[in-house]
């Protein structure tokens, strides 16, 4: 039962974060947003909603990699391919969307 609760929280947390950002996307530059939720968007550009979704997508990527490692443990070739595809998808997102304000991040 405890594993189910932690699993549900792990799956829902990035979705809840994305929903919070989406609902309040127009308030990103306001002081009340920065005081309460600023750590989710302070280093990110806000021209596009996909730029603001960096941290939830990063959480989903890590969750996917953990699931791949757990469920494909008996097939290491598929495990490597799936993790590689997951990482290449994130690299594509970073190159295409450019979510960070400064290029050095």
Domain ranges of the chain: 2-97
> Distance between CA 37 and CA 92 in Å, rounded?
26
Query: Of residues 88 and 30, which shows the higher confidence score?
Result: 88
The pTM of the full predicted model, rounded to 2 decimals, is 0.79
- Based on DSSP, count helices (H) and strands (E) in the chain, helices before strands: 5, 0
41-93 per-position pLDDT tens digit: 788 888 888 888 898 999 999 999 998 999 999 999 999 999 999 999 999 99
**Residue 15: CB partners within 8 Å, gap ≥ 6?**
56
């Amino acid at each position: 039962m405890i594993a189910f609760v932690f699993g549900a929280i792990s799956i829902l947390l990035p979705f809840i974060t994305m929903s919070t950002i989406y609902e309040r996307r127009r308030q990103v530059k306001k002081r009340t947003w920065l005081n309460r939720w600023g750590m989710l968007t302070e280093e990110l550009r806000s021209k596009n909603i996909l730029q603001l979704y960096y941290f939830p997508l990063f959480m989903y990527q890590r969750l996917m990699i953990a699931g791949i490692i757990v469920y494909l443990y008996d097939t290491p070739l598929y495990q490597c391919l799936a993790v590689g595809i997951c990482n290449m998808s994130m690299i594509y997102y970073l190159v295409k969307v450019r979510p960070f304000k400064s290029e050095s991040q």
